[in-house]
Chains A and B, each alone.
Chain A
């Protein structure tokens, strides 16, 4: 069963022909409950791909089908962590994390009645990413990495069945990052949402994903894919074992080839 199905999708920013062609003929299938990582050179259209899947930008050509339905506008089943944290500056960290609950059904209509439970859930998530004690801080009182972690919580709070993560760990140190890999793996194993993760960290891709997709340079499309057959739950040491290292090397070759064909 395919949950996300992109068929030869192209997207050009701007009205006329001299706008940037960000995607060209991108075909992508993700099964229900699958964890997919997307890697590729900077500016190749990964973030654009995320916006197309969630319906934030309509494609110029091609079809986008999510959960069996053609995507014509923004989805309400997705949780998205944007590349920039984009927290609302007038809300505290906690209020920012709880924002989706005010919009998405069924939480929206339960929120008032089960306020305490939801509040506890938001606090637990924040504690999970190491933001305990910063619930009442405003975004400008957080560091860049802390904002990113809060934005990750915001993507998770409403238990979305499609999780879109655009470089969610990019501005974190390696140890925090690895901790969050494990946390994300646990979350995924517990609820099995469909995940599309964009990352520049190949170790991260191999550690987390069932399948890694490599994108070409702009205009982006999927040029290679690799299954990762490591058993779950995976541990961090595994990323240094020959299988993972070889996989990272192979992916690295693909990306460097993609970059050189563009230049």
Chain B
């Protein structure tokens, strides 16, 4: 035979199967946890007000679906508003802190000190200032969520390779142009990674504040439920919260994949972001 090109080998089938498995596996883990949980509760006959079985939780969740939905919406909106504020402030402050070593050195200790304050302790103060309600919850979500965003953006900008900066500087670019064309795009992977952390933090902040100082929201619902010993309902509240957390996490992860494909070198890399 003259043509000695080797035959094209088909992609190994087990690789494809593994890819499919990767998508199914997380769901299997979650279902597995519930199954084991159910079995343990039934086998050891654990009292419902100590640890309710998943079946009881789902039943209770269905029974109270209307108040749960209303309160979940409240919690969701509170979290999203706090989160968006955190993105805005974190991004701007991150740019400011990351692009000047003077700002970095002078602000960093104060920021670390601020971040060490447990945010639960701040809620009563917020109540004094703003009264019981949605505002303290938004602010708590914001306070917890903005820090990781700020730090990541600042680090992304502060660690830009001098060679890349030189490319812009050699063209006579201004400081702001260097930040916009190199610093910002370069910090985007950091930024999006921090969003995934920040959104889950924001949910924690909202729920904590609602538990302490609100008359609406999942946090409040759980407080009321446990004071009435409706433990399955309290657990249903937890469950709804984690579902919302996962959903928002997935949104952030999808945005990350779209915007920073260049950093992951994905085969489905998007066109370069202009600007």
Contacts and interface: CB of A to CB of B under 8 A. Distances in A.
A92 interface: yes
A92 B272 contact: yes
Given A86-B163, A89-B263, A90-B263, 15 more contacts: A56-B170, A76-B172, A78-B171, A82-B163, A88-B164, A88-B167, A88-B182, A90-B185, A92-B272, A95-B274, A102-B181, A103-B173, A103-B181, A138-B265, A158-B171
B272 A56 contact: no
A51 B170 CA distance: 9
Contact of B273 (A56, A76, A78, A90): A90
Nearest to A76: B172
Range class of the B interface residue count? 20 to 34
A86 B164 contact: yes
B171 A104 contact: yes
A89 B177 CA distance: 17
B35 to A, nearest CB: 44
Contact of B170 (A54, A88, A138): A54
A226 interface: no
Contacts of A90: 185-186, 188, 260, 262-263, 272-273
B168 interface: yes
A140 B164 contact: no
B262 A56 contact: no
A78 B170 contact: yes
B271 interface: yes
A80 B167 CA distance: 8
A63 interface: no
Range class of the A interface residue count? 20 to 34
A136 B164 CA distance: 20
Contact of A75 (B168, B172, B272): B172
A97 to B, nearest CB: 12
A74 interface: yes
Interface string B64-94: 0000000000000000000000000000000
B172 A103 contact: yes
A171 interface: no
Contacts of B172: 74-77, 103-104
B144 to A, nearest CB: 30
30 contacts: A56-B169, A56-B170, A74-B169, A74-B173, A76-B171, A76-B172, A82-B163, A82-B166, A82-B167, A82-B170, A84-B163, A86-B164, A86-B166, A86-B167, A88-B164, A88-B182, A88-B185, A89-B263, A90-B260, A90-B272, A92-B271, A92-B272, A99-B167, A99-B171, A100-B171, A103-B168, A104-B172, A138-B262, A138-B269, A158-B171
A158 B172 CA distance: 13
A203 interface: no
